[in-house]
Structure 1
């Protein structure tokens, strides 16, 4: 339960320029101070660039701010990820309704928007997040790398922030002798290898909740899946054995 007298925000979002925007139901009557949950460091104001990694509690008049805003807008997060950056800053409502700012380090990657396992290939579409866009339309690499073994090369295209590519499943399954082999998927854009993942939405536990159709190459079942860190990978399993 939220204590009486605590200031409640109607809207609380982080803008593209790392500024915290808060809308109140009444007149704004004081400054904002952010307090780091682990170190106790305080940061005055709503300019968030340069904040240390971690969770910051948003306070007003010395008291944590409560918010009605869950802090999630997929369109807003996609727009935010369009800017090259090395730190991601998000406004997050805690389970107690307290407004926090979460800062984490990021690397450019491809945010997966579509996975199509069909016709002997795995097709993927996505957008480049936190990295530089591609000028015009250019060929791009799409590679599956076995965690203990070789790699298989597919083909892709990059245009602006958009990426699409396919990788064949036949070479991934060919000659497999171990019961199960895992492959990680990467785009290669402008000579840079980018991880494929789905991290901008609010779906937690994708590994258990998202299940893609399987294909078969001989006796091997080939199925894309999301890992514990929401990266896109592929599991190749020999049929007829205990899994």
Structure 2
């Protein structure tokens, strides 16, 4: 990976904080989501599934993305990575071409690479070195296409198992940590803290409950670049 920033620089945008901002994430499993209702209930951001692998486009992405924009939510897309089907670079291109891009408009989050347990094999049949290479190809291509490093969604267990707890991404890619507990717990891969924490799978308006590690001004900075 080409390292273009340091943790000290990233701290301008992502800091360990006692402030938290409510958000959530959804996919086609939730259908059309009441984004205005979620905003009224206190949510300020949503992350919406856009793509999976190099062929699947979420059929609800556009409608939910537009609804989120209309409701005043800061929003972004995520890509469910499938290292068993297409290179990291090709999947990043597919993601950007189908809703996962970024613009510095203050309301668009950098795209998220969702990299986690495979449907039939935890690590998609890849050894540690091959998995790290696949993720590297994805994040480098995403940065090349958009000018932003993507966030990485994962769990401590998966990251440790499938990347050997690789720390080379923590200097550039914000961590979107899934940890269903009362606290985020152990950070994987050299990340000193999470930028977003997915803390349960039952948000009132559908999907999963998320918390941004900071205040609304910090969330706006994340969307601005």
Higher relative contact order (CA 8 A, sep 6+): 2
More strand by share: 1
Compare CA radii of gyration and give the structure with the larger one: 1
Same fold? TM cut 0.5: no
Category of TM-score, reference length = shorter chain:
under 0.3
TM-score relative to the length of structure 1: 0.23
TM-score relative to the length of structure 2: 0.24
